[in-house]
Structure 1
């Protein structure tokens, strides 16, 4: 599956993306609001790509997608849906390398993915989780139409997360 936006190409990840994906899981600034420890090797990245997005495509028919900047041709982040088994819900998420922050890529990519994935997979609800002090992510979620619902505690994280959601009706 490939989705084109004005500035991005959104496509499934593959193992050849490991090198360009590495900054998304090793830069502490990028990881600030993820609760994840930095990766230290490309082997870790390859294992994660197999276990997370590549597995999700086959298991659920959707997953986080590689965001390729059309002008430069470089992988600058990810965006997309992910089934969260611990919550039994579908989350919209995004992450971009530091020099791409503040350019609207998260909103552009996530809105394009939601326009395609929600009806294609007949999703009745999409959630978004963010740390309460992550103003940029909160801004994106609200631009996507999600509304704050509650605070939740996830086992792996020390802090509570803001839980946003949007519901859909199908006849």
Structure 2
């Protein structure tokens, strides 16, 4: 099963090749990638290849999901839970195009993903990782009920890890 989720305003579904243009725009935004270890896609074909090779859905029945405004069908970014094999943890993550930030979409989408993880997949804990200076992402964690757990290098910069358990989610 590949998860498709709906909220009041949003539709979240697995990546499709036609999402490559929106994803390329998302990863080209310096304000997005300054808080990640991600690199922009060089070509549309690179974004399409990333989508084609994305294996979280088949391996773990979860993954990042392309996110759209339900009413208009506009691509706004992605959100979802992802299994991190190197940490043996499940991480909530989100990235939104600039014009859709500050409207509550990240919180709304992430809430649906956490609910899926805890209530459909039976997960016991989900973490969120952010660079220490990424205040907007940390604020979303707090709105969702995640609590500070510990510091981490987040791949290349000083970062923080927040966490929530299934019991805390209820």
TM-score, structure 1 length as denominator? 0.91
Q: Is 1:5 matched with 2:7?
A: yes
How far apart are 1:50 and its partner, in Å? 2.5
CA contact (8 A) 2:62 2:82 kept: yes
Structure 2: stretches of 5+ with no match in the other structure: none
Superposition RMSD in Å? 1.3
Q: Which residue of 28, 32, 35 maps to 1:30?
A: 32
- Distance of 2:124 and 2:13 partners within structure 1: 24
- Distance of 1:90 and 1:50 partners within structure 2: 22
- Distance of 1:90 and 1:116 partners within structure 2: 12
- Distance of 1:149 and 1:162 partners within structure 2: 8
Match of 2:163 in 1: 165
Q: How does 1:21-170 map to 2 (within 5 A)?
A: 21-52=23-54, 55-154=55-154, 156-157=155-156, 159-169=157-167
The C-alpha deviation readout for 1:109-155, integer Å capped at 9, x for no partner, is 0101211221211111100000111111001001111100110124x
- Distance of 1:7 and 1:168 partners within structure 2: 25
How far apart are 1:17 and its partner, in Å? 1.3
Aligned-partner SS, 1:90: strand
Aligned-partner SS, 2:91: strand
TM-score, structure 2 length as denominator? 0.91
- Runs of at least 4 residues off by over 4 Å: none
How far apart are 1:7 and its partner, in Å? 1.0
How far apart are 1:51 and its partner, in Å? 2.8
CA contact (8 A) 1:26 1:40 kept: no
Aligned-partner SS, 2:99: helix
